Amino acid sequence: MVFSSITFLYYFLPIVLFLYFIVPWKCKNIILLLSSLIFYFYGEPRYCILLLFSAIFNYIFGKWIESCKKKPLKTFLLVFSLLINFGILFYFKYYNFFSETVNSLFPNLLPYLSITLPIGISFFTFQTTSYVIDLYRGKIKSSKNVLDFMTYISMFPQLIAGPIVRYETIEKEMKERTFSIKEISCGIQRFTIGLAKKVMIADILGEFSQILGNASPSILGLWLRAITETLQLYFDFSGYSDMAIGLGLILGFHFLENFNYPLIAKSITDFWRRWHISLSSWFRDYLYIPLGGNRVKKGRFIFNLFCVWFATGLWHGASWNFILWGLYFFLFLLLEKWILLPFLNKHSFIGHFYTVIIILFSFVIFQRTNITELCSSLQGMIGLHDIPFANEEILFYFKEYLFLLIFAVFLATPLLKIGYKKLKEIKQIEVLLTIIEPVIYIGIFLLCTSFIIDTSFQPFLYFRF
């Protein structure tokens, strides 16, 4: 089940919200848990047991880690829980990639297994892992109730595509949360904005990307495809995050922001402070800093940064292009740290242009799992193939989708948000906006519904991670 479906919007969500708000407080987490398990079962019936096992296992080990007074035993319990968590992730997500790599060097050494990747496994594995580590560090108190912990792990708003919600973020709200018309209204608005990003922008950009992929090759076509795929991925994933955050507000939870207009970044360092914030902060707190961060000698710093970006690439998928994608960013972040960052901070226009170009190339690497196709795309973009700059087919589709591209680029900046905020500062207009806002959001929601009905199914891109 996905958020951008009639089943979710008109059947599942209304029933869940009705039950959630009519039951007494002590039953709300139970309703949320049951609805989350139904939500996951609808898409992954075979792996519900895996999700429940992960939650119960980490709940039990979390209790043991918290209560253990002997440091060596406490460390052993943590290491064992991490081995189980990442062992499960490795088996389902990376085993066949590992076996293919090994077999390329030593033929037929490891068998290939028929394994289906459970949806959201990377997200809930990182959540359970952060929970036991934070208990080991003494940053949080363990969940008092196994059902509450299972609710946290399986919570349907963010279960299958994030953001990665740490227990410390919602620890108090798991026990006690307040509801207000204002926050529920903000949640509905945020959800509607995310839905519009997905079905009215990302999905149409996806159609354009497919057209460009099938068109006769040209330099302009390759650049347009890179731009389109970058915008599609941004609106798809940030749209899902908006919907998750919006649903969280409706249910009384405050999830942290996951995107902050990353495409206006003026350096790659700045970009990764704005893009998929929950993932980059997770690697910072649970890998980079424990390795020593940047307060070490130069060689060790390079090693630490390499580990983080190798892991970041690998987290996104079991394929060499994702590893290359992570190491690509590693090289530019290293370059910025030692040479470029002062210049980029001083010359913001150059910094922004440089960042956009680096990002466009990065998402070509990200989207091409076939290395031959990847090399061909990159070579074509810089004019190393004998292809024309443009052709009639590309120019036709460019004109057809030009308005959408301009609109998407505009919405990827904070200009609309800034303009809206300034309008609300004018008292007369603020009163008018207060009256027409509900009508606008209802209209957007209905328009999204018509898009969902008229177009073919488009799953969220980050479901595969």
d(CA 348, CA 286): 32
CA dist 294 and 338 (Å) reads 12
Give me the helices (H) in 44-180, please.
48-67, 71-89, 95-105, 121-137, 146-154, 167-175
| DSSP labels, 189-223 | HHHHHHHHIIIIIIHHHHHHHHHHHHSPP-HHHHH
CA distances from 158 to 39, 86, 147, 246 (A): 11, 20, 18, 10
CB contact set of 109 (below 8 Å; sequence gap of 6+): 102, 103
- The CB density around residue 254, as the number of other CB atoms within 10 Å, is 14
Catalytic one of 254, 276, 316, 385: 316
Neighbouring CB atoms inside 10 A of 388's CB total 12
What are φ and ψ of residue 161, in 5° steps?
-150, 25
- What is the rounded CA–CA span in Å between residue 437 and residue 429? 11
Six-digit token string for 438: 């509900």
Our answer to whether residue 316 is catalytic in this structure is yes
Cβ contacts of residue 301 below 8 Å, gap of 6+?
A: 292, 293, 294
Quote the CA–CA distance of 268 and 287 in Å, as a whole number: 20
> For residues 333 and 272, is the Cβ–Cβ distance under 8 A?
yes
CB 314 within 8 A of CB 97: no
Amino acid identity of residue 438, one-letter, is P
What number of other Cβ atoms are within 10 A of residue 360's Cβ? 16
As annotated, the active-site residues are 316
